[in-house]
Structure 1
Amino acid sequence: MYRTLKILSLMTLSVSTLAIATPFSLSSNDIAQGEYMSKAQEFQGFGCSGDNISPQLSWSLAPEGTKSFAITAFDPDAPTGSGWWHWQVVNIPKHISQLSSGAGDAANSEIPSGSTQISNDYGSQAYGGACPPIGHGVHRYRFTVHALSVETLELPSDASGALAGYMINANTIASSSIEALYKRE
């Protein structure tokens, strides 16, 4: 009887711990894990004719110690040898938990005050949508929110995607991603 009660107590404790330890998570009204993005998220230029609208993103359950956030969008399948940075936003204040659809516009009208968009691999400080080469197959677009241990990443105004990525990763205490897909035929 004592052994049965002890096992039940341990099982209850395990279930309670799982219920409390919910993970930092990212969600979107515009993109979904393993699903194809719409033409709205396709780039406009480089032979692509999409709307170039950054997806809505929201996150929850940031870990203790979070002082700011960063958003990244990266295509590891780009035929560059180093992938392709589509979007990086740094220094998002810790009280912010979402970016609206279109927040990545070049006018910076929708990103939170104090935040900075890093130059993408198209050469603009904005969201640059999907534009894989025709016939290159399916590309993965990894949208990630990073909970950072610092309020401000000190980056030069002309920081490269690689430098921003390094500083983001060096200060990340938790992250969550949605990997959406896109292809052109």
Structure 2
Amino acid sequence: MGGNKLRWCERILDFCGLCLLAIAFIIGIGVLMNLLGLSRLVNFERSYWLVGQAVTFNSLMGLQVLLFFMAIMLAISPVLLLDRHVRVDVLHARLSRSGQRWLELIGHLGLAMPFFALLLGPSWRFAERAFLTGESSTDGGLTDLYVIKALLPLGIVMFLGGLLIAIVTLLRGRTPGEVNHG
């Protein structure tokens, strides 16, 4: 994988790390709100995207879910491309490099690609339905739940793209780890 793609993967993972850091900050705010007996942190005169007319304890919980899901869905493809994913090494570790490439090709083409390709349509409809119906929290949480749900098809498309890159790399006789580490 080229240096430019490697930098993009690292930038995405850095952003995902910032999302996780923001979650810790939001949890801290929620703990303080709970200690002070507050259910609303800030009220607004007009409605704002995601939070509506107030930042509430429940909207902070929704933001945690949004940030966590964003970090997970955006990180999947870069982790694959940087060869940092967890794999079951029971078989993989005992194979030659050539055998490892074939095992990964079989896994990508036979399992991952069909599974995620089949998920793409329903995930798109899931997010689309939330957007078209204006789905929002019923308990003072986030007002635009389609944002969370839209991360599912986005993450799947990114992962399918990453799989295609990984498959081409494997077909060229290299593994993502060999390309990234020398």
Structure of larger gyration radius:
2
State the TM-score, normalized to the length of structure 2.
Answer: 0.27
State the TM-score, normalized to the length of structure 1.
Answer: 0.27
More helix by share: 2
